[in-house]
Structure formats: C-alpha cells, structure tokens
A and B are shown apart, each in its own frame.
Chain A
Amino acid sequence: MSSLWPRLEPLLARVRKPARYIGCEDGAASPQHGHGKVAWLLAYPDVYEVGLPNQGLQILYEILNERPDAVAERTYAPWVDLEALMRERGIPLFSVDTHRSADEFDILAFNLSAELVYTNVLNMIDLAGSPVRAADRRPSDPLVIIGGHAAFNPEPMADFIDCAVLGEGEEVIGEITEIVREWKASGRTEGSRHAVLRELSKVPGVYVPSMYEVAYDGDRVRGITPAYPDVPELITKRTVSDLGQWQYPKRPLAPLTEVVHDRLAVEVFRGCTRGCRFCQAGMITRPVRERPAEQVRTMITEGLKRTGYNEVSLTSLSTADFSGIESVVTSVVPDPTACGAPTVSLPSLRVDAFTVGLAAKVASGRRSGLTFAPEAGTWRLRTVINKLITEEDLYGAVESAFSSGWSRMKLYFLTGLPTETDVDTEGIVDLAAGCVSIGKKYTNRASVTVSVGGFVPKAHTPFQWFGQNGVPELRRKIGLVREAAGRAKGVHVKWHDPAATLAEGIASRGDRRVGAVIERVWREGGVFQEWSEFFVLDRWLDAMAAEGLSSDWFVTRHRDENEVFPWHHLSAGLHHDFLWQDWRSALAEAGLEDCRWTPCYDCGVCTGDGLEHIVASPVAPAGGSQGTGQNLALGGSVPISLRPKSMVTS
C-alpha cells in the first residue's frame, strides 16, 4: 500500500479548512490492513464538518475495526477547491485515517441521510477511480453499497450502486464481510462480481438492484421482479432488537476542527411511534427501543472523560419521550468536573411544558433560543399529519420557556401538506404571533422565528400517495406567510428554497429512470446540491427534459391505491394496508395514538419481525396532552388516554 499523503500534503495549505483532510481525531482507529481482511471505506457524501458527527458511520467504523476479518477507514466529500487540485494531479479519493487510495478498498459504503447528496455519491465513486455505473465495474473495482434513510427508495441510485442495505447496519455488515472475504479469497476472478452480488442478494436486508427487472406500462411501473429464482421477491429492513446489546460508539470521534454537532452524542433510543404521517424517520425506524438508563449514564460519563467535551447531546427522534430522561439528566448536571460542569443538550424537543422544564434544568448560562416543531398552523391540519399538539400545548411550552428566561423561540413548520388551505398556512403566523404576545409579558426582546420548509412526500409513509406542491404553489404559500408576518410584530420568517424542494421530490420518489437525470446533473457539475451556493434547479429540469421525464409525473402527481411504487419490493415492515388506511384517516382528519403506551394497531413492524417495543416505563412521560390532543393535567405520571378507535378508522 502507498499513502497518498506525500502528494496531498503540498496541496493542503492552498485549500480552505485543510484540517478536514488530516484525520488524527481522538477516537480514530489505527487501521491494520492485511491478508484475509475485508477493507471497508465508509464514506459520507458531504463535507467533513457535516459527516464526521454522523453516529451511524462512527458505529459501523468501530464494529468493523473490532472484527479480525475486517478493517474500516473513513472518507468525506472533498470540498470543490481540493477536488479541483486532486483531479488536476490525478490524485484519487482517499481515506482520512491513513490517506490510502479508495481503490485499495474492497467496499465503498455510503451513508445517505438525504437525497440531494446523490450527485456527490457519483462524484466520489468517480474520484475513487471506479466506473460510476455498476454494470461497467470490473472485479477489481470496489463494491459500492449504500445505507441510511434514503436507501429505502434506492431506485434512483440503482444504476450506480452494487447493493443497498435497508435498516440498521450493526449485524448485517458482519454478514456482508463474510461473503466478500470469501470472494476476495477466491481471487476476484473475471465474472465473479456477478456471483458475489447474487450471494449478497440472499442476505436479509441487502438489495442488489442488478438482480431485479423493472417492467413499465407507459410511464407507470408495472412490477419489479427478481431476475433469478434464488433471489428474494421482497427485501425487508434489518432491525437491532435490543439497543442495550450495542453500546456503540465506545470511542466517540472528537475532531480537531469544528464540526456541525460539536459535542458528545449518546443515542438514548431508536424508533418513534408518535406516528407523524409526514415523517419518514418515524415510520422506517420502528419499533421504539430504549437504551437502558444505566448504560446511557455510563456512555455519558465515559464519553465525556475520553473526549474532553463538556457537552452531551442525548439523541433520538423525540428525546423527552425517553423513560429515564429526568433521572439521566439530573445525574449528569450536578457532577462538576475539574473544568466546569458538563451541559446536556436535548435536540428534537417535544412541544409541552414538561419538556421545557427539562430544558430549563439542563440549560446553564445563556438561554438564547429554544426550538419547537408544531409543523402545521392549525389543529385541523395537525390532525391530518397526526402531530397532535394543541394550541394549549404550544402556548404552555412557550409560556414556560419565556418565564424561565428564554427570549427567542424558533418554530418549525412544513407547508404544502395534504389538505392544506390558506387558513392553515396563515395559521402559522397566528401561532407565532400568539407566542410573541406571551413572550412580551416577560421580556421586550421576545421574538419568534418561523422556519418554513416545503413538504416532500417520502417512501414508506402514509403520505407517499400525495402529490407534492409545485414550485409556484410553495412560493405562493411562503409569500402568504411572509406577508402575514409583515403585519405581526416580533415574528420573523425563514424559508427553504422551493426549487430545492422540487429536486428533492424528484430524487425521493423517483424510479430507476431518474438515475440518468442524477448522472446528467452530476456531469454538468452539479455537486453539493444541499448547499444553496451550488444548487441550480435548471440543471435538474434540463436533465429531466433530456431524458424525456416529467417532474409533474414524479413529483406533483397524486397516486391512487393501485400505484406500484418503485419501492414496492422493499419493506420497512409496515403493511401496505396500514399505510393506506392511515392515509385515508389523514384525509378524514382522524388522529392515531402512540402505540408505545396503548394497544397495538398492527402497523406490521413488530408482528412481522417478531420484535417489540422496549420501553422502561408503561406510561408516557408527564406533561401536556402527550400528543393525544386531549387536555391532560400537567406534571405527574399521566397514563395516556385513548382516542376512540372510531376516529381512527374512517
């Protein structure tokens, strides 16, 4: 092996933020490559600062490096300045650990948390010296694997990847390693690539697009079927049944340079059954599996000691729902170390007074801003999306926050939701103005920032049938919000570019034909599409036109019950019937309770996979309406009340 460092080193002083490329982090492994070891290059298709904190990547990095038959290194998308110098000099994509060339790895594994990074994936495959199209790869080229939430509709990437892994990677990476190890031992002879992919296609959770044929009926997908009898018809996601068995990362990475989430992260649970209908993460990561509170404490204590951080973020999709949350938080806070007491940060706050009380407990020093996500402006629309937060919940939370010393709130909303009317859209500003007037009782500086994003329907959610709002309609709605906010003192508006929302829509529910569009956008120079300075919608529209595809068809068209989705053959465990029923319930404005604390409504995940929720407390944590929309008392242990079933089935 040869390190590329001597060739890279002279370039680094000439590029921005060269610390992105040096490795040397606290917690970095000392990868030992060797005969009989499968070498994984774990890639994050965005810049280092965004990719380094990614927990999924850190977990797999550690698990693989613990295996005697595997070795793992990391790589991130080089920024455009370094990329230009690398291409000029013929320097390939490299790992940051030992600066080894990507073509010396057996597997190039991408973590995809969003769709707009797809063009960066192509760029990195190309920089790695491998053909971007899987069909053109030789036995000596690495296997390209994708995982992460976006892999649940991998069809737009089908032409470029060798495999997609659905669900959690902890166990399946071992199974993949064993098959690839055998392939390596057999000498990766001519023609063997097909054989190893065929073998991999039989591993549960692993999808090999080249083993399937797609049939079309005009523009419609008619079916996606295995090309060989031994290849499974349906691929179901992988799920780790007990998070307590997987105490990772044990050696969290603490970077030498500033990154986006610059603190220790400890994952307290996976999955979420709040049932928000727009939320792909909540749908595809079920069931809820809590980490034992004792293990959370251990990971906090050891992580802080090991990294020297004085801040820990307790991560999950809704951290206030963690059964042990109060005791964990209080056990961290009063434990001052030599250099000041550590602080706890709680991302994804639930909207109620209890949660704010918790936040007040952990916030030390300056109380600048708190963020809540009511997602929709009226109760009616919140019943449609099943985010059952009452105005009282929000106002209670906000009152509690302003009275505890916070002066700025940020409220997240989606626009372009199913059944949304202008009353709902303008309701966003009414809610924000209501929050400002509560704040004015406590401080003259009270202000509320409303952040509005265009809604993109995602695969495996009840809203997968919904036709996304087009760019003009989203612009109009954002205009309504801005106009109304202009009349409301103390309300500020930020919004996401509707043009990027359209491109995200193309990639999110696209089928295999969209692959050619992604390739065109990339070849035209469209990298870093999540960065507004690089995003140009016309590149996407021109590419669609050149391929004879219509964005109306892929994005704004409502689907009916008979639609065969491009992810028809892929399962997140959710029954088709459950999703369809939940879509009908949405249109009937009927909510659905959280099954963590109430009887099962059989979405399919637990029953199908022999899994169950792992929740330490049989009742919901105290406070607010608990997302039931009911007026439950504040404080104390409040068993969740059932909404009548009749409201659920329409």
Chain B
Amino acid sequence: MKARISYSKLGKIRFTGHRDVARIWERSLRKAEVPVAMSTGFTPRLKMAFGLALPTGAESLVELLDVTFADGSGVGADEFDEIARRIDTSLPVGMAVTGIRECAPSEASLQEDVVATTWVMAIDASDVGDRIDRINQSNEVWLERERKGETRRDDIRAGILQLGFLAPEHSEVLPSRWLGESRGVVIEAVLTTAGRGIRPTELVEALVPGCEPWNHLTRVLRINQWIERDGERVDVLSARPAHPQVCA
C-alpha cells in the first residue's frame, strides 16, 4: 500500500535544502511510528519517493511525496487520517501535512508526472510590470543558465506558461502575514518543470536582466503543482488547509 502525501513548508524552515527535508521526513516518520517499508540492500532506507525539489529558500503549500507502507503492516486507507495526524505532530514547526490519498501502483512517479508548478513571487525591483508585458508579447526570451556546472544559452519563453500579477482570488490561499512580510511587487507565474525546467530565480533574471536574483526575490512560494490528464492541467492533490502553521 502506497500513500501520496502533500505538505507545506513555510517560514524559517524554508532555508533547509532538499536533502535536509528527506532526512526530516525520515526522522518524523520514525517518531510517528508509521510502519514504512524498508528498501533492501546494504543500507536499508525508508521507502519514500519525493516529488520535485523545492529550491532552498523557497516556501510551498504543495510539496509531495509517496510513502510505501511495510508489507504485513495492514495499513488501510481508513487509517490515513490518523496517520496524517501523527505525522503532522512529528514534523518540525513550519511543516504540516495538508493531504493524503492512496496511490495506485500503476500511477506514474511524481518526478515524471508533474509538468508545471505555480509560483507566487515578491520581487523588489522597478519596472517589473513593463517587463512582464514585454515577455508576454515576445516569442523568445534568451537566458544564460547553468546546469551541472555547464553554462548554456536557452530560450525559456515556451516554458513560461503563464505570467502576471498575483490573481486576487489567489491572495486568499497565501499564509496569513505572507504578503505583509514580503517586499516588492507580487507576481504569479506558471513555469514548466519538463525537460530542463525553469527555476523561479531564472524568471527573476529574465525580469531584472543582469541581476543577482536573491537580491530582488524577497519571498517565493509554490502554490500549486500540475499534472496533465486528457490534455488538461489538473491539481496533483487538491487538499489544502485554510491556515497553515508558520514558524514565527
């Protein structure tokens, strides 16, 4: 039996990295005494499969992982709420379980399945609005970027699926105080994760040419992850709390 779990990562804990989060989950599952299956081999590990890595420093309302329960543990979907509650108590401040559902063995892995994510970004720079218009009107946006130590010039325009100011209806899903604590213009973007993907910092470089992105990106939050079914973008796991806990 496998479960797909979504969780939020907000506040100070956003400065932990992807590897840190994996370790935090390992310890939290053990603390919660969840009967997770172990991998075989010399160094047995808990069977967990994480979705797309969240950049260190970014927050999220929808991080995802799949957890496989041990054979013979007899965990059924009816216990999911109870398990989610136990994990939630074990997670550190700033991380909270926001949803859980059964994951069929036939379902594609999160890494393969997710095609795009929605970001809300606070950018402290001038002329961001003009720059958004220009990107939306052009057919190509060239950017030098690094992957695995190699610098390449790429056209990232096709990967910017949507770009604009924060939609009013989305300001309601933001954690309380989030807007208050962020400086600058708040924008919203849907960026592809397929292929080489586009990072939020790369979008900032496109919006503020020649900048050091983290000097301008004062806050960044992932609010959605999308998969494609029958040609339509759908939410991977829609459960979301009204008021996620924030590490003060």
Report A's interface with B, CB cutoff 8 A. 5, 10, 12-14, 17-19, 21-26, 254, 256-258, 262, 305-310, 337-340, 365-366
Contacts and interface: CB of A to CB of B under 8 A. Distances in A.
B36 A22 contact: no
A577 B30 CA distance: 54
Given A18-B57, A308-B30, A256 B20 contact: yes
B46 A26 contact: no
B30 A339 contact: yes
Given A10-B218, A24-B94, A366-B43, A339 B19 contact: no
A contact face: mostly helix, strand, loop, or mixed: loop
Given A12-B57, A13-B217, A258-B20, 10 more contacts: A13-B57, A22-B15, A22-B16, A25-B92, A256-B20, A339-B35, A339-B36, A365-B42, A366-B42, A366-B43
B217 to A, nearest CB: 7
B13 A256 contact: yes
Interface stretch (B21-29, B151-159, B234-242): B21-29
B34 interface: yes
Contacts of A19: 15-17, 20, 56
Contacts of B17: 17, 19, 257
Nearest to A256: B16
B55 to A, nearest CB: 9
Given A24-B247, A258-B19, A258-B20, A18 B42 contact: no
B44 interface: yes
B85 interface: no
B90 interface: yes
B38 to A, nearest CB: 5
Contact of A14 (B31, B33, B46, B214): B214
B199 interface: no
B174 interface: no
A310 B16 CA distance: 21
B92 A337 contact: no
A24 B43 contact: no
Interface in B192-220: 212, 214-215, 217-218
The 7 A-B residue pairs whose C-beta atoms are closest, nearest first, are A308-B27, A366-B42, A13-B57, A18-B15, A308-B31, A308-B30, A13-B214
B56 A14 contact: no
A5 to B, nearest CB: 8
Contacts of A13: 15, 56-57, 214, 217
A24 B93 contact: yes
Nearest to B44: A340
B24 to A, nearest CB: 6
A543 B71 CA distance: 66
B56 A308 contact: no
Contacts of B218: 10
Contacts of A22: 12-13, 15-16
Contacts of A25: 92
12 contacts: A14-B214, A19-B15, A19-B17, A19-B56, A22-B16, A24-B93, A24-B94, A254-B27, A256-B20, A256-B24, A258-B20, A366-B43
B19 A337 contact: no
A339 B29 contact: yes
B35 to A, nearest CB: 5
A24 B29 contact: no
A262 B26 CA distance: 13
